[in-house]
Each structure stands twice: as C-alpha cells, then as structure tokens.
Amino acid sequence: MRNYSKVRLSPSIFTPVGKGILFLSILTLFGCDVSNIPESLDDAKTQVVKPEVQILEMRPQPVVMKKELAGRTSPFLIAEVRPQVSGIITKRRFKEGSLIRKGETLYQIEPSTYQAYVANAKAALARSKANLTMTSLKEKRYKGLLVSNAISQQEYDEADGVYRQAVATVDVDKASLKMAQINLGYTRVSSPISGRIGRSIVTPGALVTANQEQALAVVQQLDPIYVDLSQSSASILRMRKALNLSPSPSNLGLDVQLTLEDDEAYTHIGKLQFSEVTVDETMGSVILRAVFPNPEQLLMPGMFVRATVQIESIGDALLIPAQALTRDVKGQPLVMLLAKGNRVEARVLGNVELVGGKWLVRDGLNIGDKVIITGLQRIRPGMEVQVMSEDIHADITPELQKQEVK
C-alpha cells in the first residue's frame, strides 16, 4: 500500500476550485479502495504536512570548563656568572652540563696579586695600631699634666687630636684589609645559586676583567620551573570574570596541566602563580606564570608547551547540539521546543557558550525541556509535528575544553 504522507501541497490547492481538484485526485489515487480515502480534505491536509522531528530532553550533567594557553618554559632561577676581579683564569672546576651547588667554586683566577694586597693591608694595619698605642699613651700623660697645670690646654688638644687621627687610621686600614681579603676571595669564582650549569665561555689562560659584559657561564635552577603563558588582554578579562580573580597572588593558585611538544601529557600538575599587571602595548597580551615541579629535569628552558587551566566546574550544565541553535533577525540565540500537543514553540535563549562543539546554555532552558534537534528547516512555531523517535540523549563527556572566542 502506498504512503503519501510526505507529499507537499501548495496553499493555493485549498481554494474552492483547488479543493475539488484535490478531491478528484484523491479518488483517482486511491482507486476503488475507499477505506483509504480521508473523511475530509482538512484531515488530508493535516496528514500530509505534519513533519517528523527528533528531540533532546534537557538533563543536567557535569562539565569542567577548561582553557588552553600556549607558553614557553623558563628557569625558576638564573644566574650569569661574571668575575668580580680581573686576572688570568688558571682552572675550571666544573663539568659542563652538571648540577652545581650554591657556593661551589667554578673558576680559579690567579690569586698572587691579591694575596700581596692582603699582605700589604695587614702591614699597614699593624703600623697604624703601633702608632695608635703611642699616641694613646701620650694623650693620657698630657691629660694628667693638664690637671696639674704643667702644660697648656693647647698642648693637650694637639696630643688628643693626634690620638684621634691614629684611631681613624686604624679603622681605615682595617677596612682596606677587609677589602683586600674580599678581592682575594673573588679570585675563586663561585656559583650564586644551585642548579644546572651550561657551557663555559672561557678556558684556562683567558684574561677576564671585573664585571665584564660577557658571562663566563650560566647556572639555571630547573626544579621547579616556570611556564610563561601569553594570552590576549581580552581573553584574560573573560577569564578573570569567569573565575572572579584579581591579579594578586592570593587569588591565584589554580591547577594547570601541561602538554609537551610531542603531544604527551606532562605527569606533574602545576599551579598558576602570577599574572602580569600591565599589558604589552605592541602585542596586546598579558603574561600568566605557572610553576611546575621538574624532578626528572624533563622540562628545559625555552620549550614550547600548551597549558590547560580549569576555568569552571558546573555540576548541572545543560548542553545542546550545535545544529539545534539558530539566530533570529536580531542575532539572538533561538531554539525550537516541543510543547503540549506536539506543537512547536520558539524560545529565545540568554547566555550561551560554545563548548567542545556543543552549546552550553546558561539562561533560557529548564530541566525537562524538549529541544528539537532535527527537521528544523521544515517547522515553524505553532506547527504540529510528529516525534520520529524517543529522546536522543547526547553523549557528552564530563570534561569539555573551552574553545577560545577569537
């Protein structure tokens, strides 16, 4: 038996003349089997134009909103080793690429000149101390004579002045000795931090100068390690609004997951630690800094990585397929619902967000609403439709990555 339920009829066919033609056509099509003839033309119209649709009943489900940011690794601490005194490098006391402890000697500069400075300063201090002893005794003797009026006040003042100068000379010579000893200590160029040292720029026999521009070597602490994430200022604003964050460190501390250049997930979880307080005027971007443990030294400075930050966790999210949402003439998000009597109802939504290829509806839908997801081109508000199948519940994973709006 033929089925003509999907034949489309023009509205003009239902004029008085058209109704007669339609009735005769129905008689012809159905032949002598009058049991298949609709009782009226209105029944025939209803039977023909009722479209079939599929629906999705709104059910709450957990969703974790995430944000992926691109960034590069940078050392937790970095020290460029430079000499603080001039001289000839006599020894290099480390192996390139090895781990270095704070205070460990890296280079030895020829110390003989500075040893001589120390000896000279010691001799000068001994001389000034001897002079201080003599002037001190003289000052005390003159003080007693002044009481008995054996000398004048002027003579005592002169003796007291010489004594005070001797005291000052001793202090100066002590400082000179201290400086000479410090410079002698600087002939042992040591590491200011613990970490891994790179290649040596100089070799034994090279002449170096105090505070030269070129570093002898670079020491970097890589455990923990920083990951600097660059993000546009507009995205940072949206992120702060979603998290209710301020730039202060007390409001950060979010968990950060890392994906390496080979698309492998990094096993350790980091923390969002710092947000730059100014925007780069040339790039319009802001730097976020996360810190990660790096005990295996797998992360090296300068590596390109992708960091995923958890923005929000929603326990009762309502999600609809992307094709179920359209826009009205004003650009507002719009969905079609199945109402009572299988009638189509149009509803304008409020805040919606594209998440993992589906729309997260924050305003406008309720639990239990039946959203029409197929056959949208054949329906309009108020039309009666036929549900083609039972509710199709979308397979949506609990964790969806938030797509950045460009």
Provide the token pair at 286: 């802001």
pLDDT of residue 64: 80
CATH homologous superfamily of 68-75+226-314 equals Efflux pump adaptor protein, beta barrel domain (2.40.30.170)
Topology (CATH level 3) of domain 111-187 = Helix Hairpins (1.10.287)
Per-residue pLDDT tens digits for 111-153: 999 999 999 999 999 999 999 999 999 999 998 898 888 889 9
* Cα(278)–Cα(376) distance, integer angstroms: 48
* Cα(165)–Cα(237) distance, integer angstroms: 67
User: How long, in residues, is the chain?
Assistant: 406
pLDDT of residue 1: 43
* Cα(235)–Cα(108) distance, integer angstroms: 51
Contact 61, 317 (CB under 8 A): yes
Burial class of residue 231 (count of CB atoms within 10 Å of its CB; 0-12, 13-18, 19+): buried
* Cα(56)–Cα(136) distance, integer angstroms: 103
CATH 1.10.274.10 fits 80-110+189-219, yes or no: no
pLDDT of residue 288: 84
Least Cα distance to 373 among 358, 355, 354 occurs for 358
Which residue ranges in the chain fall short of pLDDT 50?
Answer: 1-7, 27, 30-35, 246-251, 394-406
Provide the token pair at 321: 């397929």
* Torsion angle in degrees (nearest 10) through CA of 362, 364, 366, 370: -120
The residue ranges of DSSP E strands in 129-206, in sequence order, are 188-190, 195-197
Contact 343, 383 (CB under 8 A): yes
* Cα(379)–Cα(381) distance, integer angstroms: 7
Topology (CATH level 3) of domain 52-63+316-387 = 2.40.420
pLDDT of residue 354: 83
pLDDT of residue 83: 96
Residue whose pair of structure tokens reads 């003439």 in the numeric block:
329
3-state SS, one letter per residue, for 69-87: EEEEEEEEEEEEECCCCCE
Question: What residue segments make up the domains of the chain, in order of their start?
Answer: 52-63+316-387, 68-75+226-314, 80-110+189-219, 111-187
Provide the token pair at 91: 């020894």
Helix (H) or strand (E) holding 321: strand 319-321
Contact 230, 287 (CB under 8 A): yes
pLDDT of residue 309: 83
Helix (H) or strand (E) holding 167: helix 153-186
pLDDT of residue 175: 96
Q: What 3-state DSSP class applies to 34?
A: helix
Q: What 3-state DSSP class applies to 334?
A: strand
Least Cα distance to 231 among 301, 284, 269, 168 occurs for 284
